[in-house]
Structure 1
Amino acid sequence: MKKNIRIGAGAGYSGDRIEPAIELAEKGEIDYLIFECLAERTIALAQQLKMKDSTLGYDPLLADRMHAVLRICNEKGIKIITNMGAANPLAAVEKIKEIARTLGLEKLKIAAVSGDDVLTVVQDGNYLDDTGSLVTELGSRLLSANAYLGAQPLVDALAQGADVIVTGRVADPALVLAPLIHAFGWPMDDWHRLGQGTLVGHLLECAGQITGGYFADPGYKDVANLARLGFPIGEVSEDGSVIITKVAGSGGSVTAATCKEQLLYEIHDPAAYLTPDVVADFSGVTITEIGRDRVAIRGATGHPKTGMLKVSIGYVDSYIGEGQMSYAGPGALARARLALDIVAERLKIADVKVGEIRYDLIGVNAIHGSALSASNPEPYEVRIRVAGRTSTMKEAVRIGNEVETLYTCGPAGGGGATKSAKDVVAVRSTLLPHALVPTTVHYEEI
């Protein structure tokens, strides 16, 4: 067993940059490259694609990422672990096989982890979601139900020699925890090490956020060269302690401050972070800068897992219609306000039924509202936005149409109109006993 391993975070969300992952593979001297690409709504949207075409439903950038790093990782012995399988891990494996053959790779073992799709389970049971309603009440609006799997099936795949592991919905830290369990031989009930490993996974899961991305505030928190932001590397020891760093010369920075912000990101209770593998306790974590772009982090512990798995439920909630138009020059703000008044009255005349609607002056009151912006100087230019939530697509379309008609039926000087209408995929949650979510690992070899 190795005394320490290096894990690179190649993506923190589906649309993340690809160049930093290439940099990690080429220069990071890493053992594992992790791509974390699933947000809460992403898998429901992927399920919609799969319903239209059974060969789709995996991450739309999977092919681009694999073309970029698969050969490098194969040559260097770097294992890839990713949740880019989304709603269709098996189809993702077929796509990776196709890419591997195109690249001329001759030896590759790919594993697909499945079992997170529990749609039929929640449809057949009396499960309450986090609003207190029965999941079955969603009826035909229900799109997906995916349980957050833990590290065990990924550990199993690594034990069978998988070079690439593709999953659907797993807990984000599990993508990193699995190679730690495999590399160091941690028992699945060593709660303290699992807690520390979960901390490592949590620190790395958002990729560039811990190297200065989504952190900069000029004059207060300056970060150099964000256009070439380097993604993080975790140097992990057998006890689970970690040094966060990045490729030398890459953009961004790793400091105690960047690590603290990521540590607190999306954490409800730092002393009881619930995951499928462990209830992690981050309350005793210490963070120490030990060199430039090198931060040592340790001190997490853990307690036995709950035996329940969170299930993310995707459903069609409503429709949103939107229209925008710009006004500039003297009196721009007054003309923009008149335009919003006209649209508001038109929607009443047309009896467009909206459950929620916003009339925004972008650059004036769209974020903090009118009260905080009242004393600010009048802008030379302003853009109006009308956005409303409806129960039908037809009514959603009408909102954008009424904004567009301001060209001929509104105040002077409007331009740059845009409009859109779309369905809204929303998310709820429920819990399932772990025993109701069996997992399988499917292998393909080249």
Structure 2
Amino acid sequence: MTTSFLIGNGSGFSGDRIDAPIPVVKTLVADGRPSAIFFEVLGERTVALAQLERTASNDSGYEPMLEPLLEPILKDCFENGIKIIGNFGGANPMGAARCISRLARKLKLTGLRIGVVTGDDIRERISLDDLEVYEADEGIDVHDGTLVSANAYLDAQPLVEALAKGADVVVCGRTGDPSLALAPLIHHFGWSADDWDLLAAGATAGHLLECGSQVCGGVFFEPGYKEIPCPENIGFPIAEIGADGAVIIGKAADTGGLVDARTIKEQLLYEIHDPAQYITPDVTVDLSGVTLQQLSEDRVQILGVSGTARPEKLKVTACFGGSYLGEGEVSVAGPNALARARATRQVLHDRLKFRGLDVTARCDLIGISSAHDSDAGVLSLEDYGPGPSDIRIRLAAAGSNRSHVEQSAREVLALLCCGTAGTGGARWRVTRRVVTRSYLAERAAIQTQSQCFASEDLL
């Protein structure tokens, strides 16, 4: 064991930049200290969408960009002892493990060991009717929906077990986001599962890193007010954590963006609800006494984190399907575009009524009324002055009858001949909608399994 450990983030969500992990790994390799990189790619609805994909193909349902994410870094990580942890298993951790195994064969890597953590998927083992509804979700009605997914937010311990079995890469499904960073710290330092202050420090590091470039100036960036250098090459974060729980946040070398007290504060307060009781599966974190110290350019130390016991129950998020969303878009351009767009919007609403389509719909004039108006479009023509020269119109229709939703979305196509002058560029699509509702489950009811495989055995 060394007195410090480095952990970087390679992804903040599914669809993040696939080139982002490369400078992170280069920085970790150049530093030479024990290190890991983790990938956070699951949102609340991502697992549900993955389950729907797996229904169509048993070898899908994991992070679709897994191979492009790992191919540039897997060899360097393996040869330099840099652990890779990721919830890119989604609804199919074993499928993701097999994908990594195929990639290892492609790269001619021998001896790679892949850990697989399962148990977060509780659909077949626990009845949601027996669980306490998470208080913030009590008003969400899901009785007409079909259960698509139900996943518990696992703590770091199953990931630690996989690392203890010799895994070079650990694949999991749903976990607490900070747990992905906390696991290699527990494994490396041997922290106790009830040393709350140390766990709180590690969880805070994970919380700051989990959204990727956000702590390095992403989302923070606002031209003229909060500038960052080289936003086209914004860096992803790396934390230096001491055995005593000291936390320093930096970023990958030779990248843009910045890390300072402002970016840290914005990310620190992200999604925590109560700063004195930030609840994670591993520990309840108290951030109310945190202070920040800028050590040097792009290096900020986090001080004053403390922790108390972890919650007695684990959060479970369930997703229900059944309805559909149809979207149709079309553009109007040229002089008087705003008046024609407003007329087109009214035509679309009237058409849905005329045809008796059973949907709930709204129509946005993108760039004019798509962000700040109500569903009724309350802004007036006078608010826009002479108006823009081109406008994109978006029709959104939702309902349980897929045919009605699809026909609603397709109404934009008819505008190519039936619409106002200067109308074109139509497109449409229909997607499945999901509604999420969260519950609380006893820890003892969540049975996890940590396995470790030689890569060659998964082929």
* Same fold flag (TM > 0.5): yes
Which residue does the alignment assign to 2:124? 120
State how far apart, in whole Å, the 1-side matches of 2:18 and 2:261 are: 26
State how far apart, in whole Å, the 1-side matches of 2:141 and 2:254 are: 50
Contact conserved, 2:87 with 2:171, CA < 8 A, in 1?
yes
Residue 240 of structure 2 aligns to a residue whose secondary structure is strand
Contact conserved, 1:364 with 1:373, CA < 8 A, in 2?
no
Query: CA distance change for structure 1 residues 225 and 441 in 2, over 3 Å: closer, same or farther?
Result: same
Match of residue 375, structure 1, among 383, 401, 421: 383
Contact conserved, 1:172 with 1:202, CA < 8 A, in 2?
yes
Which residue does the alignment assign to 1:72? 76
State how far apart, in whole Å, the 1-side matches of 2:131 and 2:190 are: 37
Residue 181 of structure 1 aligns to a residue whose secondary structure is helix
Match of residue 348, structure 1, among 337, 353, 356: 353
Which residue does the alignment assign to 1:7? 7
Match of residue 260, structure 1, among 260, 265, 288: 265
Superposition pairs for residues 182-331 of structure 1, below 5 Å? 182-331=187-336
Which residue does the alignment assign to 1:81? 85
Which residue does the alignment assign to 1:359? 363
Contact conserved, 2:397 with 2:408, CA < 8 A, in 1?
yes
Which residue does the alignment assign to 1:389? 398
Which residue does the alignment assign to 1:61? 65
Which residue does the alignment assign to 2:36? 32
Query: CA distance change for structure 1 residues 245 and 53 in 2, over 3 Å: closer, same or farther?
Result: same
Unpaired runs of at least 5, structure 2: none
1:109-128 Cα distance to aligned partner (Å, 9 max, x none): 11100110100234375335
1:149-170 Cα distance to aligned partner (Å, 9 max, x none): 0011111122222111111100
In the alignment, structure 1 residue 425 sits paired with structure 2 residue 429: no
Unpaired runs of at least 5, structure 1: none
State how far apart, in whole Å, the 2-side matches of 1:438 and 1:244 are: 34
Letter of the 1:50 counterpart: R
State how far apart, in whole Å, the 1-side matches of 2:194 and 2:106 are: 42
Contact conserved, 1:128 with 1:134, CA < 8 A, in 2?
no
Contact conserved, 1:396 with 1:421, CA < 8 A, in 2?
yes
State how far apart, in whole Å, the 2-side matches of 1:228 and 1:124 are: 44
Larger deviation: 273-282 or 398-407? 398-407
Residue 7 of structure 2 aligns to a residue whose secondary structure is strand
Contact conserved, 2:166 with 2:452, CA < 8 A, in 1?
no
Query: CA distance change for structure 1 residues 373 and 293 in 2, over 3 Å: closer, same or farther?
Result: farther
Larger deviation: 10-19 or 366-375? 366-375
1:378-419 Cα distance to aligned partner (Å, 9 max, x none): 222212111121111111111122222122222211111111
Contact conserved, 1:11 with 1:36, CA < 8 A, in 2?
yes
Query: CA distance change for structure 1 residues 87 and 288 in 2, over 3 Å: closer, same or farther?
Result: same
Residue 215 of structure 2 aligns to a residue whose secondary structure is helix
State how far apart, in whole Å, the 2-side matches of 1:163 and 1:374 are: 62
Letter of the 1:155 counterpart: V
Which residue does the alignment assign to 2:95? 91
State how far apart, in whole Å, the 2-side matches of 1:229 and 1:135 are: 41
Contact conserved, 1:113 with 1:154, CA < 8 A, in 2?
yes
Residue 223 of structure 1 aligns to a residue whose secondary structure is coil
What TM-score does the superposition give when structure 2 sets the normalisation length? 0.93
Letter of the 1:375 counterpart: D
State how far apart, in whole Å, the 2-side matches of 1:428 and 1:319 are: 18
In the alignment, structure 1 residue 435 sits paired with structure 2 residue 444: yes
Superposition pairs for residues 33-52 of structure 1, below 5 Å? 33-52=37-56
C-alpha displacement of 1:101: 1.8
Letter of the 1:85 counterpart: G
C-alpha displacement of 1:298: 2.0
C-alpha displacement of 1:372: 8.7
Residue 271 of structure 2 aligns to a residue whose secondary structure is coil
RMSD: 1.9
C-alpha displacement of 1:182: 1.6
Percent of aligned positions with the same letter in both sequences? 45
Which residue does the alignment assign to 1:408? 417
Match of residue 110, structure 1, among 107, 111, 114: 114
1:415-441 Cα distance to aligned partner (Å, 9 max, x none): 111112221122211111000001111
Which residue does the alignment assign to 2:183? 178
Contact conserved, 1:46 with 1:57, CA < 8 A, in 2?
yes
Aligned length: 444
C-alpha displacement of 1:38: 0.9
1:326-352 Cα distance to aligned partner (Å, 9 max, x none): 112221111111111111111111111
Larger deviation: 3-12 or 364-373? 364-373
Contact conserved, 2:324 with 2:405, CA < 8 A, in 1?
yes
Query: CA distance change for structure 1 residues 74 and 136 in 2, over 3 Å: closer, same or farther?
Result: same
C-alpha displacement of 1:135: 9.5
Residue 368 of structure 1 aligns to a residue whose secondary structure is coil
